[in-house]
Amino acid sequence: MERVPVLKIGDFLLVSIQVDMEDQIALQLQEDLSERIVQTGVHGVIIDITALDIVDSFVGRMLSTIAAISKVLDAETVVVGMRPAVAITLVELGLSLNGIRTALNVERGMELLARAREEEDLLDGEDDDEQPAEDGTAVTS
Amino acid sequence: MERVPVLKIGDFLLVSIQVDMEDQIALQLQEDLSERIVQTGVHGVIIDITALDIVDSFVGRMLSTIAAISKVLDAETVVVGMRPAVAITLVELGLSLNGIRTALNVERGMELLARAREEEDLLDGEDDDEQPAEDGTAVTS
């Protein structure tokens, strides 16, 4: 079975998507990626889509899911290498990449992640929980 | 047409091979890679073959050719992520990866390239020609 490799580079994981994202491959990638995030303790994931001619709603949803999973595991996701034609199509189709940051190329993506990490470190210690209990009961954890 | 992306990361170019290396794709990759080496002025190329189940003589030759081209353009090539089964098959088939360095994963490959670069800097200025003329004639270049 085809499998998309997850490469560790410094404090990031890099995934370069080149094959057609069939259901099974996408699921396997989500699994591999989340395992590697836990295993390596990285705080950033870069997904390169230079090779993709088309980003349809399935791929878009997959990217959003990966970003959401990574977020839960305390890692930010950046999608890099999107072709101009892909960007145009995305907008024309009205597809929005929910919760996904983008950058022009891998290096800019790395910069973005490093900056995001620094900002987060600055905010560290503050409470991130933004859902106040409306009935006034305090939830202690 | 499918095309293998060449990613610039720091002082290296990274190529992750995931698709079957047909003739046309291999040629395109050689062209893209050599153009990027010249364009970016990097001194190292890392080729990740984690996704490959099989390295046959065609792929082996392609890797050797890429290494040779990069060498001429003053960049070292390291192949990383070879699976144990691939290594076993290579040896059993008697295929040798001529002029190719290997490393376990991308990070070790980056270390190897950085070290190779340092050594080269130390030797800089000395003559690398290691073939002494046995008949005593000096070859000046």
Whole-complex ipTM: 0.77
Task: Report the range of poorest mean pLDDT among A54-58, B5-9, B78-82.
Answer: A54-58
Higher local confidence (pLDDT), B7 or A122: B7
Q: Which residues contact B23 (CB under 8 A, 6 or more apart)?
A: none
Q: Out of A7, A8, A10, whose CB is closest to B16?
A: A7
Residue of B nearest to A4 (CA): B51
Higher local confidence (pLDDT), B109 or B21: B109
Higher local confidence (pLDDT), A122 or B66: B66
Q: Out of B50, B51, B107, whose CB is closest to A9?
A: B107
Chain B CB contacts of A51 under 8 Å are: 2-5
**Residue B127 pLDDT grade (very low, low, confident, very high; cuts 50, 70, 90):** low
Higher local confidence (pLDDT), B124 or A21: A21
- Residue A121 touches partner B, C-beta closer than 8 Å: no
Interval B14-51: pLDDT, tens: 999 998 888 899 999 999 999 999 999 999 999 999 99
Average pLDDT, chain B: 86
pLDDT value of position A115 = 92
Residue of A nearest to B9 (CA): A107
Question: Average pLDDT for residues B45-64, to the nearest whole number?
Answer: 91
Give me the tens of pLDDT residue by residue for chain A, a chain 141 residues long.
Answer: 578 999 999 999 999 999 888 889 999 999 999 999 999 999 999 999 999 998 888 898 899 999 999 999 999 999 999 999 999 988 888 887 877 899 999 999 999 999 988 888 888 766 555 454 455 444 444
Q: Is B44 exposed, middle or buried (0-12, 13-18, 19+ CB in 10 A)?
A: buried
Domains of chain A: residue spans and CATH: 6-107 (3.30.750.24)
pLDDT value of position A40 = 95
Pairing of strands B101-103, A44-48: unpaired
CA A101 to chain centre: 7
At A102, list the tokens: 């983008």
- Residue B14 touches partner A, C-beta closer than 8 Å: yes
- Residue A40 touches partner B, C-beta closer than 8 Å: no
A 10 A CB-CB count for B32 gives 16
Query: Using the beta-carbon criterion (under 8 Å), do B5 and A105 form an inter-chain contact?
Result: no
Interface A–B counts its CB contacts (< 8 A) at: 63
Chain A CB contacts of B3 under 8 Å are: 51
Q: In what order do the strands lie in the sheet with B101-103?
A: B6-9, B12-16, B44-48, B76-80, B101-103
- Residue B3 touches partner A, C-beta closer than 8 Å: yes
- Residue A106 touches partner B, C-beta closer than 8 Å: yes
Nearest to A102 by CA among A128, A111, A93: A111
> How far is B12 from B40, CA to CA, in rounded Å?
9
Which contiguous run of DSSP H or E holds residue B30? Answer: helix B23-40
pLDDT value of position B140 = 47
pLDDT value of position B2 = 78
